[in-house]
Structure 1
Amino acid sequence: MIPAPLGSQALLLALRRLRTDLAAHDRAVADAAGIKDSDLTVLEILNREGPQTPSVLARRTNTHLATMTGVLTRLENDGWIERHPDAKDRRSIRIHATSIDRFNTLYAESMDRLAAVFETWPTEHARIFLSAIADISQALDPATNSDAAGRHKSGDAGRES
């Protein structure tokens, strides 16, 4: 149980503030790079997780596939990505980030400031933080939630598939 001063309401408010701060920071980074917020989100996924198909990127960003096509065209025209045929399925393409160093430069100053904060944390503090981030990400993951909602609607809530 969470102690009263750290109740779920206080944690939710802190999380919302962090979301707002991160969104504002990302808008500033996107503006400095001359790209849109949605473009920056796609670059973040590609730089963090590697090549993806347009369909996966659209699903991951909750973007219509036609809109994703426009995002990818802008990024390709600006030299941020390249489209390559999928080695396993020649009918499909995979989107590759081409400017990882350029992307990392966008975040270098803020990453240095955050690294300085993290370096002051005890190991256990860092473990708890990583665990909390994983829990929060899983709770917000549309795939996880749609699976649970589907089981709930069909009366299978709580049963393993």
Structure 2
Amino acid sequence: MTTLEPDLMAATLQRFGLERDRMRAAVASDAGISATDLDALEHLEADGPLTQRQLGDRLSLTSGAVTMLVDRLEDAGWVRRRPHPSDRRYVLVELSAQAIERTPARLAAYHARIRAIADKVPAAHRDAVRSFLQAAAEAASDAAANMRR
């Protein structure tokens, strides 16, 4: 491996991030929601129901701001609140059935295309690709946490 290859991988990952951000801005605009609203929906899609505090931490929002965000998304039919199953002090926020049905066709097509691309990665390389992407995600998470301090 030459010294250029890691730089090229990092640059390619950055380009993917920029293009994904551009695609996400288009999705948010198409759905009539803000980028932060879309971020919330993506966290709920990826991780399932979250408390408002967990959602606020992931979005770097104050408790008041996350309450307003969840109110807005609930009023628009994107999410619903339900009691926490084991701790009645908390409420969980989850995607509504309507939100799942309202997935824009172009976003569903993008997800299908990503799955098709992933299917083409040779089985022998999948662990390495997954490991690289997980490490990159952890680096981004750590950087975000360090910036909030």
Shift of 1:105: 4.5
CA 143–60 in structure 1, closer or farther in 2 if over 3 Å, else same: farther
Instruction: Please list every run of at least 4 consecutive aligned residues from structure 1 whose deviation after the TM superposition is greater than 4 angstroms.
Output: 143-146
SS across alignment from 1:103? coil
Deviations 1:127-161 (A, max 9, x none): 22111111111222249965xxx9xxxxxxxxxxx
Aligned partners of 1:60 and 1:142: how far apart in 2?
Answer: 12
Structure 2: 5+ residue runs without aligned partners? none
Q: After superposition, where does 1:62-73 map in structure 2 within 5 Å?
A: 62-73=60-71
1:139 aligned partner = 139
Question: Partner of 1:3 in structure 2?
Answer: 2
Matched length: 145
* Residues 80-159 of structure 1 mapped to structure 2, 5 A cutoff: 80-98=78-96, 99-103=99-103, 105=105, 107-142=107-142
What secondary structure is seen at the aligned counterpart in 1 of 2:77?
Answer: coil
Write the distance in 1 (CA, Å) between the matches of 2:36 and 2:29: 12
C-alpha spacing 1:49/1:35, structure 2 compared with 1 (3 Å): same
2-structure distance, mates of 1:128, 1:117? 15
Match of 1:14? 12
Q: What is the CA–CA distance in structure 2 between the aligned matches of 1:143 and 1:85, rounded to whole Å?
A: 33
TM-score, normalised relative to structure 1: 0.79
Identical counterparts, % of pairs: 27
Aligned to 1:39: 37
